[in-house]
Amino acid sequence: MDTRHTVVDSGLGPLAVVARGQALTGLYFTDHVRRPAEETLGPRVPAEDDPLFAEAAEQIHDYLAGRRDTFALPLAPEGDTFQHAVWDLVRAIPHGGTTTYGTIAERLGAPGLAQRVGQAVGANPLCILVPCHRVVGADNSLTGYAGGLARKRALLTLEEPAEVTASRLF
């Protein structure tokens, strides 16, 4: 069913953007922990030849340049009901904010499921667009990120509110 992909260069490394029909289904770094096999991504299409990919590339570049803090793209990640519930809450985390796995579990009415929430966050196929980098450990520590902790730190730093940046001692 019309699965295809493109590669968008970014300051964080190349990003494979995957679509099926008129919705994005994946966004993966080259060394992404749960990146699907290349042959499942469909044919590679130049971003400029596909309106959905062209718009996605523009919005990703604008976000990474600090000119955008939300995305307006059609998303259709594949996952089960629980994963979708988690991803919906992750999408609601505001730009510049963070939350914990435990808080998401509590919001789902299942405070004992923080580990399962972590698994759902880790299975997010749309990194950056579904901002799983905004989910941190209970003690606000940086915890796993499928794109690597250096990228998670870079994304959180990019989104850091100006008053926090200004108050740093170093």
User: Which residues participate in catalysis according to the annotation?
Assistant: 132
Contact 5, 57 (CB under 8 A): no
Contact 144, 124 (CB under 8 A): no
Distance CA 14, CA 84 (A): 26
Distance CA 49, CA 155 (A): 28
C-alpha distances in Å from residue 47, one per residue of 5, 6, 53, 58, 64: 9, 6, 5, 10, 17
